[in-house]
């Protein structure tokens, strides 16, 4: 099989829904597509072929490579989000490189042994959670090959998923959020950043949902925000409180002519406003504000975790909280609900079975 030309590869990328996310980072530069931690080391591990070939040859030749393009195109036709397609691209392509380096280029050569060897190699450079992400991607790819009739039997049946300890997810502390907000003054960019920080911790928005918001999605009168681009494709409503509404109002006063279909948060560059804030731009805002506040930069998702645990502490019930966060199952939601020792002690003092028995024996009201 001859090596595809540059034009052919570009067409394949377009057909498979490849995308590169670019946009303002809030500090005058251009954002780039995210790569999971360890991706560079994995490329070196899996794509160092001998002098007769090369990484690019392995990436663009062979039946497995063509099946990957078909898989990505299938995801696009099913209206899976660009981030989802990018996840599978980034996870499966190194796997195919690894297989090519082992002399496996056709789907019928794919065996449980080959996949197991790959997972063992991954374990040398990746955390259990990272290995599990690759395992899920490979499982989705092999299931696609089974549906298409390319594989007669599932090589994943004999494999166990990497074990991942369900460690509680750390939220950003409210003190750190307050410190970052304190670095925001009165400039346009400062007011934008303050409104973002307060809104993230007060609504539990995912980062992708936040940057997709338009001006019309916010109802300042009651603080409700319509999430149209939810992860599960089910629109929902979140609510921001008085503090977040004030911050958003101060920011939107700077844009009196903003149209309803314009982005809620704009990106700033040295030449001025440049359009919608991107995921990478949002991440850079958090990093810059943390740097100015003299704290460790929190992750974007840690704001969502803080929202969950603070709402629970303040009396929110799990059903309502799940609806606000867009989670349909409690097992997913509970990972956000990290309760520290103080929470447990406070609840136990109220609900202690032994203490209630003692009070009952003394004739006291439990």
**pLDDT tens string 301-344:** 999 989 988 888 888 888 888 888 887 666 666 666 665 667 66
Confidence check: pLDDT of 46 > 80:
no
Asked whether the predicted pLDDT for residue 170 surpasses 90, the reply is no
CA quadruple 115, 120, 124, 127: dihedral sign: positive
Res 146 pLDDT > 50: yes
Phi, psi of 308 (to 5 degrees): -65, -50
Q: Any idea what DSSP says for residue 159? A: P
Whether the full predicted model's pTM is greater than 0.85, yes or no, is no
CA distance 228 to 230: 6
Structure tokens at 142: 């092999």
Q: Is the pLDDT of residue 45 over 60?
A: no
Is pLDDT at 10 greater than 70 in this prediction?
no
Q: Is the pLDDT of residue 56 over 50?
A: no
E strand or H helix at 55, and its extent? helix 55-60
pLDDT at 42 (0 to 100): 46
pLDDT the model gives residue 57: 40
């Amino acid at each position: 099989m001859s090596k595809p030309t540059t034009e052919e590869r570009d067409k394949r990328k377009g057909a498979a829904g490849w995308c590169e996310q670019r946009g303002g980072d809030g500090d005058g530069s251009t954002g780039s597509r995210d790569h999971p931690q360890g991706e560079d080391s994995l490329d070196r591990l899996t794509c160092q072929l001998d002098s007769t070939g090369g990484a690019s040859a392995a990436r663009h030749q062979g039946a497995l490579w063509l099946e990957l393009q078909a898989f990505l195109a299938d995801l696009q036709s099913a209206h899976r989000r660009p981030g989802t397609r990018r996840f599978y691209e980034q996870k499966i392509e190194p796997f195919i490189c690894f297989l090519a380096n082992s002399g496996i280029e056709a789907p019928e050569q794919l065996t449980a042994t080959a996949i197991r060897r790959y997972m063992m190699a991954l374990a040398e450079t990746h955390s259990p959670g990272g290995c599990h992400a690759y395992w899920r991607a490979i499982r989705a790819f092999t299931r696609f090959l089974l549906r298409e009739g390319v594989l007669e039997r599932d090589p994943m049946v004999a494999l166990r998923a990497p074990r991942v300890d369900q460690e509680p997810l750390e939220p950003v502390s409210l003190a750190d959020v307050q410190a970052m907000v304190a670095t925001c003054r009165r400039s346009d960019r400062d007011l934008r950043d303050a409104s973002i920080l307060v809104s993230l911790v007060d609504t539990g928005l995912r980062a992708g949902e936040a940057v997709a918001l338009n001006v019309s999605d916010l109802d300042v009168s009651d603080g409700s925000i319509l999430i149209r681009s939810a992860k599960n494709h089910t629109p929902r409503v979140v609510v921001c409180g008085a503090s977040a509404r004030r911050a958003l109002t101060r920011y939107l006063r700077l844009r009196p002519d903003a149209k309803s279909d314009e982005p809620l948060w704009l990106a700033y560059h040295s030449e001025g406003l440049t359009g919608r804030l991107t995921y990478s731009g949002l991440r850079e805002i958090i990093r810059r504000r943390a740097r100015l506040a003299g704290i460790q930069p929190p992750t974007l998702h840690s704001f969502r975790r803080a929202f969950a645990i603070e709402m629970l502490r303040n009396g929110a019930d799990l059903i309502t909280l799940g609806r606000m966060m867009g989670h349909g199952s409690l097992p997913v939601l509970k990972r956000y609900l990290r309760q520290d020792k103080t929470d447990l002690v406070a609840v136990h003092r109220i609900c202690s079975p032994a203490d209630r028995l003692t009070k009952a024996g003394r004739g006291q009201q439990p």
